[in-house]
Amino acid sequence: MKYLVAGLGNIGPEYEFTRHNVGFLVADELVKQAGGSFTLQRLAYTSTIRVKNKQLVVIKPTTYMNLSGKAIRHYLTDEKIPLENLIVVTDDLALPFGTLRMKGSGSDGGHNGLKSIQEVLQTAAYSRLRFGVGNNFAKGRQVDYVLGRWDDEEQKTLTARVQTASDFVKAFALEGLNNAMNKYNNK
């Protein structure tokens, strides 16, 4: 059984280790734990890893956040992965830092990456793991905040939260959406 794990972010050194790129961090952790590596392919950096009896195609789109749907559609089609086996990992301003929440569908919540995916796939019925980045920014400074680097306090627990998010994604593939949500949501 094959799954598509899409960690959202923006490519380029200026975006590395920013809050908006937490999806890339989770994808990196998944692949690292499996002993894999990424290669640059069409529309994304990709890695195919095994988690027990499941095959996970992990992508980090090179399309930039606002066009993430294009890369996801390509890999769903190219790898013949059903929509119910897609999980998107993204940052979320509405959740406190480090909070993890998985859902089987939902609105884009104003997130441009999710908006792109919904426009391209013509549905909001796909699983997503939202990684809380908090909303500690002054009015009108949202872009600077999400494109900003993690502060010292966040960095103390970031690695552990990324590892937990990686475990959450593996639980999605191994145990299914509902079991993964029951096990990890709000933990």
Contact 127, 86 (CB under 8 A): yes
Non-local (6+) Cβ contacts of 185 within 8 A are 100, 101, 102
Q: Respond yes or no: is residue 74 known to be catalytic.
A: no
- Residue whose token pair is 């294009």: 70
CA distance 97 to 109: 17
The one catalytic residue in 20, 60, 101, 128 is: 20
CA distance 99 to 158: 11
Catalytic positions, written as ranges? 20
